[in-house]
């Protein structure tokens, strides 16, 4: 269903009141001129309603319902939740009154991207260009572009001229210059130029007019060039829009570089202030769409999706013994110790049993059963295997179990030594804060935690200079406990440019925020609609993804928890094995020394005993 609104604006307040009361007879005797004007206008509106009734639902309104108390209770007032006026017909007999009404228009009542037809019925107007200029200028204050002003020439009452304006032209920029777009000949009953649309496209070409853009450096989205041009993902996008719509770019670098707070004009800051005070036509530079920003500014369609992630230090390296212990989890090691304990206990108990029972279980081996069990666990072999069937069955069970454990340990250890060698850091914002990590970010990203004041209170803001000179170096040391919130495109861009210097940013697993990027302008800005069509065309053609690929390359992602490139095992990787070897040599040396001492004492005691017996 299409709604057509008829806000009626007349020369005098009395005539409005007449319309509001549907022309009661008592009001027709006050002034004959007023009566004639009112009746003529009502006849005109009646004819319009009669023609449109089969096709449209019409809402008839008077002009001063919101500003005058006698109309405050009118049922024609806009109620909360009612659709904004998109198709509008204004019947005007006084441009001055029309200007007062447009001053009270607001975006909650009118859709400024809609269509506005203004029918001037005053017979007193002598300068149609000035009248059209006043009406078009009043609507342009609200960035209304689709306007058609119909005026009847006093000398040619059967001819109605259609005035409109093009905000951008070859000889003017962002100004109102009325042009006669068409004319309606009442005698013939048709327009003189029927091929012309009543509301033509007016923003397909800006004819080289300047558009000011408020932005700041944010790599790799906006990279200011030396001669005023903008590089980066969104810099290329803006340049494509410039070529498509033929406008000239005026870059306003916001200092200090900050999105600022989007709010009322008196409270806005940063780049938002440029938009709210109409000092810039638009702003671009990692503008994530939020409800708060959309309340005070007009955003385009989201043309790119970016992830805000955490850059973290590499994590503390594993020690040699930690590497040796790594392939098995604690339950596996505990089960292995239980198996060895049961084996040692069983051997100890069987050592106290008679010889036939020992031979049944151990066989006729001459070695120690304890050492044989450890020897087989580590992959050794027996010098003399048992001959009894029961002893062989026990040996096969032990070999099968230890073979599986030994192969699993060896394979896991080999893979581990070729991949990650550091402890992983906490991977979510709450776990980072609980572990005592400091969370850093640019001020521009602080909106991410607006809904989490407990987290926002622990965030530390850092400038771009401090990030490059200090924070970036701290992220290279495993003992540092900090994390930095940055776009994933910034992380890969920095890694691509800094990897030659041995500097890398490592990515945590968790993604903190999904940012939908858009271009922002003033509310009801006429630039948004044509830009949206171009942005959708660029996105569907894959151009934005291609531009992003020039700066965001996934091969430069370094995940602190991920696998690194496979390489040969170095001598340092075998530190755990060497440590165990040294411990084993130390234990065996101590045992050998203790046995030698015990043997020496035993021989000395036997020698003394033999000497005493000889005496």
pLDDT in tens, 121-177: 875 666 888 999 999 999 999 999 999 999 987 777 788 899 999 999 999 999 999
State how far the Cα of 102 lies from the Cα of 200, in Å rounded to an integer.
23
Q: What whole-number percentage of the chain has pLDDT above 90?
A: 32
Do 48 and 152 have their domain in common? yes
Higher-confidence residue: 312 or 38? 312
**Is residue 385, in this structure, part of any structural domain at all?**
yes
Identify any residues that bridge with 511 across adjacent strands, giving them in sequence order.
309
Identify any residues that bridge with 173 across adjacent strands, giving them in sequence order.
168
**What is the separation of C-alpha 609 from the centre of its chain, rounded to a whole number of angstroms?**
91
**Is residue 365, in this structure, part of any structural domain at all?**
yes
Do 57 and 160 have their domain in common? yes
Contacts of 166 (CB under 8 A, 6+ apart): 177, 179, 202
Do 453 and 310 have their domain in common? yes
pLDDT digits (tens, 9 = 90+) for 358-376: 777 777 665 677 777 877 7
Do 338 and 276 have their domain in common? no
Domain closes at, from 418, 445, 480: 418
pLDDT confidence of 231, banded at 50, 70, 90? very high
**Is residue 602, in this structure, part of any structural domain at all?**
no
pLDDT confidence of 59, banded at 50, 70, 90? low
The pLDDT value recorded for residue 419 is: 64
Do 275 and 236 have their domain in common? yes
Comparing CA positions, the residue from 325, 420, 31, 600 lying closest to residue 14 is 31
Do 164 and 264 have their domain in common? no
**Is residue 250, in this structure, part of any structural domain at all?**
yes
**Is residue 52, in this structure, part of any structural domain at all?**
yes
**Is residue 591, in this structure, part of any structural domain at all?**
no
pLDDT confidence of 576, banded at 50, 70, 90? low
The pLDDT value recorded for residue 334 is: 86
Do 182 and 90 have their domain in common? yes
- Mean pLDDT (the chain, rounded): 80
Comparing CA positions, the residue from 269, 279, 314 lying closest to residue 446 is 269
Higher-confidence residue: 349 or 531? 531
State how far the Cα of 394 lies from the Cα of 553, in Å rounded to an integer.
58
Query: Which range, 319-328, 335-344, 397-406, 539-548, has the best average confidence (pLDDT)?
Result: 539-548
Could you tell me the CATH number of the domain that includes residue 530? 3.40.190.10
Give the chain's domain count.
4
**Is residue 582, in this structure, part of any structural domain at all?**
no
Do 412 and 431 have their domain in common? no
In the three-class reduction of DSSP (H, G, I as helix; E, B as strand; rest coil), residue 82 is classed as coil
Do 48 and 133 have their domain in common? yes
pLDDT confidence of 568, banded at 50, 70, 90? low
Q: What is the DSSP string of 199-266?
A: S---SS--TT-EEEEEE--BTTTBEE-TTS-EESHHHHHHHHHHHHHT-EEEEEE-SS------SSTT
Range of the domain at 406: 322-418
The pLDDT value recorded for residue 4 is: 45
Do 414 and 435 have their domain in common? no
- pTM score of the predicted model: 0.73
**Is residue 48, in this structure, part of any structural domain at all?**
yes
pLDDT confidence of 351, banded at 50, 70, 90? confident
The pLDDT value recorded for residue 203 is: 94
State how far the Cα of 582 lies from the Cα of 25, in Å rounded to an integer.
117
Do 239 and 249 have their domain in common? yes
Do 262 and 276 have their domain in common? yes
pLDDT digits (tens, 9 = 90+) for 171-202: 999 999 999 999 988 888 889 999 999 999 99
The pLDDT value recorded for residue 106 is: 85
Domain closes at, from 400, 418, 436: 418
């Amino acid at each position: 269903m299409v709604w057509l609104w008829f806000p009626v604006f007349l020369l005098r307040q009395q005539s409005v009141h007449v319309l509001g009361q549907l022309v009661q007879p008592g009001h027709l005797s006050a002034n004959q001129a007023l009566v004639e004007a009112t009746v003529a206008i009502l006849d005109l509106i009646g004819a319009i309603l009669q023609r449109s009734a089969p096709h449209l639902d019409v809402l008839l309104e008077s002009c001063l319902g919101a500003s005058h108390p006698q109309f405050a209770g009118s049922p024609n007032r806009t109620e909360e939740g009612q659709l904004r006026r998109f198709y509008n017909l204004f019947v005007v007999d006084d441009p001055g009154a029309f200007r007062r009404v447009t001053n009270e228009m607001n975006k909650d009542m009118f859709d400024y991207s809609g269509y506005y037809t203004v029918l001037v019925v005053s017979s007193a107007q002598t300068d149609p260009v000035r009248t059209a200029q006043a009406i078009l200028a009043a609507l342009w204050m609200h960035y209304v572009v689709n306007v058609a002003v119909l005026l009847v020439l006093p000398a040619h009452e059967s001819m109605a001229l259609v005035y409109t304006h093009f905000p951008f032209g070859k000889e003017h920029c962002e100004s109102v210059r009325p042009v006669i777009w068409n004319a309606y000949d009442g005698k013939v009953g048709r327009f003189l130029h029927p091929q012309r649309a009543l509301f033509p496209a007016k923003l397909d070409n800006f004819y080289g007019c300047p558009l000011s853009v408020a932005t700041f450096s944010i790599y790799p989205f906006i990279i200011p060039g030396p001669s005023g041009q903008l590089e980066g993902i969104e810099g290329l996008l803006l340049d494509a829009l410039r070529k498509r719509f033929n406008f000239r770019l005026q870059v306003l670098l916001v200092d200090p570089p900050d999105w600022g707070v989007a709010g009322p004009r008196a409270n806005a800051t940063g780049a938002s202030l440029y938009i709210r005070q109409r000092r810039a036509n638009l702003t671009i530079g990692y503008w994530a769409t939020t409800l708060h920003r959309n309340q005070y500014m007009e955003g385009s369609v989201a043309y790119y999706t970016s992830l805000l992630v955490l850059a973290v230090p590499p994590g503390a390296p594993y020690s040699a013994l930690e590497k040796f212990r790594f392939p098995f989890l604690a339950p596996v090691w505990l089960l292995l110790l239980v198996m060895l304990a049961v084996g040692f206990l069983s051997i100890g108990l069987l050592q106290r049993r008679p010889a036939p029972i020992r031979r049944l279980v151990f066989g006729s081996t001459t070695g120690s059963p304890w050492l044989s069990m450890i020897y087989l666990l580590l992959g050794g072999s027996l010098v003399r295997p048992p001959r009894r069937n029961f002893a062989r069955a026990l040996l096969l069970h032990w070999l099968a179990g230890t073979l599986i454990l030994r192969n699993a340990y060896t394979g896991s250890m080999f893979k581990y030594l070729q991949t990650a060698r550091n402890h992983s850091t906490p991977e979510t914002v709450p776990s980072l804060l609980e572990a005592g990590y400091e969370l850093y970010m640019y001020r521009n990203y602080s909106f991410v935690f607006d809904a989490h004041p407990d987290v926002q209170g622990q965030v530390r803001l850092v400038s771009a200079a401090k990030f490059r000179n200090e924070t970036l170096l701290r992220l290279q040391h495993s003992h540092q406990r900090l994390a930095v919130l940055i776009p994933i495109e910034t992380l890969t861009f920095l890694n691509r440019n800094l990897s030659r210097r041995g500097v890398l940013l490592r990515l945590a697993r968790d993604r903190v925020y999904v940012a939908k990027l858009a271009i922002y302008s003033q509310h009801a800005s006429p630039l948004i609609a044509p830009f949206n069509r171009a942005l959708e065309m660029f996105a569907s053609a894959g151009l934005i993804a291609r531009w992003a690929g020039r700066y965001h390359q996934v091969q430069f992602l370094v995940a602190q928890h991920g696998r690194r490139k496979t390489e040969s095992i170095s001598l340092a990787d075998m530190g755990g094995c060497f440590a165990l070897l040294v411990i084993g040599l130390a234990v065996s040396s101590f045992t050998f020394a203790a046995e030698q001492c015990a043997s020496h004492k035993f021989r000395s005691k036997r020698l003394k005993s033999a000497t005493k017996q000889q005496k």
